[in-house]
Every structure is written in C-alpha cells, then in structure tokens.
Amino acid sequence: MLKGELVFFCGKMGSGKSTLARETAAERKAVLISEDELLSQLFPDIIRSVSDYKRYSDLLKPVVSDLAQQILNKGVSVVLDFPANTPAQRHWLRRLSENTNAQHLCYFVDRTDEVCIQQLLQRGNPNTDSVEMFHAITAYFTPPGDDEGINTVIV
C-alpha cells in the first residue's frame, strides 16, 4: 500500500522552520499541521514560559500523532511543523513514520543565533518572541546526530 511521507523540521527558534514547512507542504501537496497555529488557537495568550510551552505542546502530541498516522496511512504526505530540536522530539516524530511504515525526512534549518533572533523579533508575538525566550528554548536545542536514524537534509 502506498504511504505518504512524513516531513519535519529541526532548527532553533526563529530559524525559518515554519516558513519552510509552508513551502514544503505546498510543493508536495501535503497536509500541513502546525504546532504554533494549534497552540495559538487552542490556548491563546497562555504560553509565556518554556514550562507553559511544554505542557500545552505535550497535550497536542497524542492527538496529532493519531491524525498524522491516519493521513499517512491514506497515502497522503504530512508536513509536521513541530520542532525536532531534541532527541526526544525526533524520536517521537520518527516513531510516527515507523508506525505507518512511511518514509520520513527532517530538514535541519541551520542558522546562526543572530539570524534567528532577528527573524524572531520580526514575528512580533509579545508573549513568546523575545531574546529571553530564544535563549531559554535554545538551551534545549540539540542538532540531530548520526546515531538517531533520522533522514536529515541540512538547509
């Protein structure tokens, strides 16, 4: 049976992952599921810290997992605009593709801190788009390692 492909993104906050996700979904005629959009619609003005982000992001993951796997099983590709910035996040995403026998691809959007901060400040969300939040989130960032079994393309 034909399976869709799961595409996801690794990169620091403000690196351009969401922009690339939208472009990739359009090019591949894939379903785009965006964590930022879901969080802002379901939990508006609630996320103000890393712990808030983790709490509400973790609430989304079981639902998104089921939805993404259903779509992949229909032979439709899925672009998940959820960060793949830690080994645990990448493991979750890789497991989604494995559970459906679908291929996966991780785009690693490699940008300097300066570029990320500049782009982040242009977004303008007063609750999350600050230099302080960038550094708090970046403290958890780990580039993908060869030992993770992730098909990675650096952009």
pLDDT at 30: 97
Alpha helices in the chain (DSSP H): 17-28, 35-42, 50-73, 87-99, 113-123, 131-138
Instruction: Please give the CATH superfamily to which domain 18-154 belongs.
Output: P-loop containing nucleotide triphosphate hydrolases (3.40.50.300)
Q: Helix, strand, or coil here: 80?
A: strand
Q: How far apart are CA 100 and CA 142, in angstroms?
A: 26
Which pTM value belongs to this model? 0.91
pLDDT at 133: 87
Q: How far apart are CA 37 and CA 6, in angstroms?
A: 19
Q: How far apart are CA 28 and CA 16, in angstroms?
A: 18
pLDDT at 109: 97
Q: How far apart are CA 118 and CA 130, in angstroms?
A: 10
Q: Which of 35, 13, 31 is nearest to 109 (CA)?
A: 13
The alpha carbon torsion through 141, 121, 136, 52 (nearest 10 deg) reads -100
Domain ranges for the chain, please list them: 18-154
pLDDT at 1: 57
Mean pLDDT by runs of 10 across the 155 residues of the chain is 88 95 97 95 88 92 96 96 95 94 96 94 80 91 94 95
Q: How far apart are CA 96 and CA 22, in angstroms?
A: 20
